[in-house]
Amino acid sequence: MAGTISTYVTFNGYTAEVLKHWQDVFGGELNLLTYGQTQMDPSAMPFEPPADSLAHGVLATPGGLISGGDSIDGEYPIRDTAYSMLYNAESVEDAQEKIAKLVDAGGEETMKFETAPWGGSYGQVFDKYGVMWSFSAE
């Protein structure tokens, strides 16, 4: 089997909340594991995580995997345009539906979803957590 690339996100204590929100928007199956649920010996770890912190979560969407866990040592900068999550929609209507869900939940459409120079449709939304989502549809 060839290697694959998927996304891994880290938030300071609320990664499970983010993954649940994305499951509401994009669908899929979500599996969450807190440090308290692991069988790991706490003395074997280089830090002392709270038992309810997310050790590992996986959202298996129909289009791919998004994994993540809570940061233990502080907050990372989130809102930026140097990266984005790219959703290649099945149709223009599919993209518009997902964009509306993100905006209705507190996100901000920063680039209107419309015809792009290459002929498809493209737009950008920052979700309520500061993550930029790019949307593309043929």
The residues spanned by each domain of the chain are 7-70, 85-137
How many Cα atoms within 13 Å fall on the side-chain side of residue 48?
1
* Domain 7-70 CATH assignment equals 3.30.1340: no
pTM > 0.95: yes or no: no
Supply the DSSP string of 9-43, one letter for each residue.
EEESS-HHHHHHHHHHHH--EEEEEEGGGS---GG
* CATH number belonging to the domain at 85-137, selected among 3.40.50.720, 3.10.180.10, 3.30.300.30, 1.10.760.10: 3.10.180.10
Write out pLDDT tens, residues 75-124: 677 777 778 899 999 999 999 999 999 999 999 999 999 999 888 999 99
Three-state SS for 54-100 is EEEEEEEECCEEEEEEECCCCCCCCCCCCCCEEEECCCHHHHHHHHH
